[in-house]
């Protein structure tokens, strides 16, 4: 199933502020494909009276993906009560996650999520395939209250050219969770 929708654009006038949802801010599920999510504030609001952000946390994740061939690019994702972005085994493959600021803006302002910045979740032996063939590149992933990138399960995913710093746990954590020596 293809959807081919755009949420936001590269134009600041088209920016959405997506926050205060009781669950996730944006959900791409059931094989949703071909969508572009770009230039939005997700879990983050703008304080018009000053040059600061307001906490518009979503009740779960900023963006939840159980679809394929989607692009999430150029967003500021912060303050969410779980992960900034989740790629789930219920269909997350061949997605591009690039040029986002997850947990901190481009100037380093802390808007950290309460969970990992980006989390690949699921059960490779369960109802779907492990998140696979996703590309996570050229993002800033900082100041989150858990890992920068947490890979619980997955195969063929590429994590490249990201700036990952200041997260409460490891920058990139592969299962089993924690330092593996």
Please state, in angstroms and as integers, the Cα–Cα distance from residue 30 to each residue in 3, 39, 65, 89, following that order.
11, 24, 9, 11
Using DSSP's 3-state secondary structure scheme, residue 14 falls into: helix
Q: Across residues 64-92, what is the average pLDDT?
A: 96
**pLDDT at res. 27:** 97
Neighbours of 178 (CB within 10 A): 11
| Residue 14 main-chain phi, psi, to 5 deg | -100, 5
pTM here is 0.93
Neighbours of 150 (CB within 10 A): 24
**pLDDT at res. 89:** 86
Query: Does the pLDDT at position 1 exceed 70?
Result: no
**pLDDT at res. 2:** 54
**pLDDT at res. 156:** 93
| Residue 12 main-chain phi, psi, to 5 deg | -55, -30
| Digit-coded pLDDT (tens) for 26-49 | 999 988 999 999 999 999 998 777
| Digit-coded pLDDT (tens) for 96-124 | 999 999 999 989 999 999 999 999 998 65
């Amino acid at each position: 199933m293809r959807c081919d929708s755009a949420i936001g654009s590269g134009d600041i006038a088209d920016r959405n502020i997506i926050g205060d949802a009781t669950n996730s801010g944006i959900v791409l599920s059931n094989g949703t494909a071909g969508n572009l999510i770009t230039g939005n504030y997700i879990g983050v609001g703008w304080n018009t009276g000053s040059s600061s952000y307001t906490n518009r946390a979503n009740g779960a994740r900023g963006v939840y993906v159980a679809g394929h061939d989607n692009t999430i690019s150029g967003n500021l994702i912060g303050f969410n009560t779980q992960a900034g972005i989740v790629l789930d085994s219920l269909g997350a493959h061949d997605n591009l996650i690039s040029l986002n600021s997850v947990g901190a803006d481009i100037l380093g302002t802390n808007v950290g999520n309460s969970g990992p910045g980006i989390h690949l979740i699921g059960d490779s032996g369960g109802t779907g395939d492990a998140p696979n063939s996703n590309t996570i590149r050229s993002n800033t992933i900082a100041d989150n209250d858990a890992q920068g990138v947490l890979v619980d399960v997955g195969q063929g995913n590429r994590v490249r050219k990201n700036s990952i710093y200041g997260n409460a746990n490891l920058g990139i954590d592969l299962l089993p969770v924690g330092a593996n020596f």
